[in-house]
Amino acid sequence: MLPRPPARLAALLVLLVGLTGVGVVPAGADGDRRTPVATREVQSARAALASAQDALAGDGREVTIALRDLALQRSRLTGSDRAAADRILARPTDGPLDPDGYGLFADPQRACTAVCVHWVESGRHAVPSADADTDGRPDYVERALAVLTKVHRTYVRAGYRPPNGDGSLGGDKRPDVYLADIGSQAIYGYCTSDEDIPSGGPFDVWAYCVLDNDYDPAQFPQNNPLDNLRVTAAHEYFHAVQYGYDAAEDSWLLEATATWAEDELYTDVDDNVQYLGQSPLSQPRASLDVSGGLQMYGGWVFFRHLTERFPRAKGGLPTFVRDVWRQADGSRGAPDRWSVQAVDRVLRKRGTSLRAAFARFAAENRRARTTYAEGRANDYPNAPLADRAVLGRGASTGWGSLRLDHLAASTIRVRPGAGVPRSGRLSLQLDLPSAARGGTAVVTSKPRGGSVRTRLVRTDRDGDATLRVPFGSTAWVEVTLANTSSRYRCWQATSFACMGLPLDDGREFRVRATAGR
C-alpha cells in the first residue's frame, strides 16, 4: 500500500512521542520485557491516546487529526489503553465519546439520502425541537441532511471517490453523520474512523463524522448557525472523502485541501479567510508543508492559487485538488505519493513543476489583493517584504544574503532614485543554491503606467545568474527568492512532508543590485 509502511508508521509514532512529551520507558522497567522499539511504539500510541482525550476535552488542538492519529495506532494498544481508545473512537450511538463519559445517545433517530444523519430529541445532545412543517422530523435535522446531501453529491459529481462503505455500522453502508453537543468543548465538528486499521495499512478506510447539534451562537459567535453548519459539513465530510484515499497522508495536505474545499462549496461564507494570518501570505518564510498549528489550515491559499491558475473543473469544482488526491492514493495499485510528490506530479501533468509553481505563487503573493479573485473583497494580506532599497544612478546594494528553509520565500524591492534616466537598467546578480537544492528566483517589475511583469530567472548549474531589466521606466523591481526544494529523508518523525528531514533548509541566497549609469 505505502512505499515503506513500517517506516512511515514508526515515524508517526516517534513524532507523537516528541509532540506530547511522553517519555520512553526503558526495556525491562517495571517488569516490561518488550524490546525498546516495541516499548517506544506503545508509548507513542499512548501519546496519541492522551492527545485525543485532550482534543475532545476542547484544549484547542485539531480534533480530526488527533482522532486520526489514534485510529492509526489503536492496534498497538492493549488492556485499559485499548478500551479507552475504543471508547473514544466509538460512535455516539455505541457509547461515550471519551473515557470520561462524554455522553450517550438516548433513543437515536436516523434519516438518510446518500448520507445518513443520526440525532436524539432528548437529553444533552437533543437537536432543537422546532418542526415548521409538522412532519415529525426537526427542522435542524432536515437542514443538516440537505446540506450533507449537497456536499456529498458535489464531491461525487466532481469525480471524487465516495467515502468507503462501513458495512452495517450505523444501519447500512452509507456514510454516517451524528449530531451532538460538541460546542460545549469548542468543537465545530470532526471525522474519524472506527475501522480496525492494521499497523502496516492499508490506509484507505471508512469514516464517520460528528457535527454540532445546533451551532448555538453563544458557543459559535463567528458566522450564523446555518453558515457554520455548511462550512463545517463541507470541511469535515471532505476528510471522510480523503480517508477513502489515504487516511495516513500528511496532515498539512489533509487540512489545507479540506479548508480549500469548504470555500469552494460555500464561497460567500469565507470562514477560511481567518487563517490567512497563518498562511504563506503573512508568513512567507515559514515552510508550506508543516503539519501542526493553524499554518496547515492557512495552506489552503496555495491550492486556491493553483486552482485559479488551472481552473478546469468537473461538477462545479476545479479538478486540480481531486487529481492530487488521486496521486496520493495507493489503494488500487497506483504508486502512493506523499503530499509534495503528489502536488508536483499533478503540476507536471499540467506542463509545469512544483519548483516553478511555488516560486510564481510566492511572487504573486506580494500582490494578493489583486492576483486572487477574492483578494480585494476579502482584504487578503500582501506578503511582506524582507528588505527594500532606493538606488540612484550607478549605486549598488552590495551583496545581501538571507537563508531560507524549504518551500519558503522572501522578496526584496528596489526603486529607482535620483539621476536614473528613463532608459536606465538594473543589473541583478544572483548567487543561489543550485536548482536541485531549491535555488529559484522570480523577478517582477512594475512599469510606470503599465502592467506588472513577472519572469522566472534561469540560473546555471551552480545557481548563478546575471540579468539586466528596465529600471528608470519602472516604479519598482522586486526579486522573490524561493527555496523550492522538495528533497527529504523520509520517515524521520518530523512535522514536514513524508515526516521527513528536509535536506535543503537554511540555504543561503545572495543578491546584488546595481543601477546602470
Q: What's the pTM?
A: 0.91
CA 400 to chain centre: 33
pLDDT in the model for residue 55: 86
* Residue 270 predicted with pLDDT over 90: yes
For the chain, percent of residues with pLDDT exceeding 70: 89
Over residues 453-473, mean pLDDT: 97
Looking up cell 453558515 gives 227
User: Given pLDDT bands bounded at 50, 70 and 90, which one contains residue 5?
Assistant: very low
Residue 116, H or E segment: strand 116-119
Strand, helix or coil at 47? Answer: helix
Query: 52 φ, ψ to 5°?
Result: -65, -40
Over residues 370-392, mean pLDDT: 97
pLDDT in the model for residue 62: 84
* Residue 34 predicted with pLDDT over 50: no
Residue 218 is placed in which grid cell? 453563544
The Cα–Cα gap between 90 and 96 comes to 7
Q: What residue ranges of the chain are covered by domains with CATH 2.60.120.380?
A: 387-515
Task: Name the residue type at position 481.
Answer: L
- DSSP calls for 313-355: EETTEEHHHHHHHHHH--TTSS----HHHHHHHHHHHTT--HH
pLDDT digits (tens, 9 = 90+) for 145-154: 999 999 999 9
Nearest to residue 390, comparing CAs of 364, 416, 372?
416
Nearest to residue 254, comparing CAs of 268, 270, 243, 262?
243
pLDDT in the model for residue 43: 86
pLDDT in the model for residue 106: 80
pLDDT in the model for residue 292: 87
Nearest to residue 63, comparing CAs of 74, 81, 48, 44?
48
pLDDT in the model for residue 439: 98
* Residue 156 predicted with pLDDT over 60: yes
Query: 101 φ, ψ to 5°?
Result: 80, 50
pLDDT in the model for residue 334: 67
Query: 298 φ, ψ to 5°?
Result: -60, -20
pLDDT in the model for residue 9: 44
Residue 407 is placed in which grid cell? 518551500
pLDDT in the model for residue 104: 66
Nearest to residue 242, comparing CAs of 225, 264, 224, 257?
257
What count of Cα atoms within 13 Å lies in the side-chain half-sphere of residue 490?
17
The Cα–Cα gap between 517 and 468 comes to 12
The Cα–Cα gap between 91 and 210 comes to 9
List CB contacts of 4: < 8 A, sequence separation 6 or more. Answer: 490, 491
For the chain, percent of residues with pLDDT exceeding 90: 81
Report whether 30 contacts 509 (CB < 8 A). Answer: no
Range scoring the smallest mean pLDDT among 21-35, 51-65, 243-257, 428-442: 21-35
pLDDT in the model for residue 57: 81
pLDDT in the model for residue 454: 96
pLDDT digits (tens, 9 = 90+) for 296-322: 999 999 999 999 999 999 999 999 999
Report whether 432 contacts 399 (CB < 8 A). Answer: no
Q: How high does pLDDT run on average in the chain?
A: 90
* Residue 271 predicted with pLDDT over 60: yes
pLDDT in the model for residue 60: 66
pLDDT digits (tens, 9 = 90+) for 410-420: 999 999 999 99
The Cα–Cα gap between 266 and 259 comes to 11
Strand, helix or coil at 274? Answer: helix
Whole-angstrom CA distances from 6 to 61, 200, 491 are 27, 6, 9
Over residues 98-124, mean pLDDT: 81
CATH 3.40.50.410 is held by the domain 387-515: no
Report whether 139 contacts 130 (CB < 8 A). Answer: yes
Strand partners, 109: 119
* Residue 332 predicted with pLDDT over 70: no
The Cα–Cα gap between 434 and 252 comes to 27
Range scoring the smallest mean pLDDT among 10-24, 100-114, 164-178: 10-24
The Cα–Cα gap between 281 and 372 comes to 11
* Residue 208 predicted with pLDDT over 50: yes
Report whether 399 contacts 279 (CB < 8 A). Answer: no
pLDDT in the model for residue 200: 82
pLDDT in the model for residue 13: 42
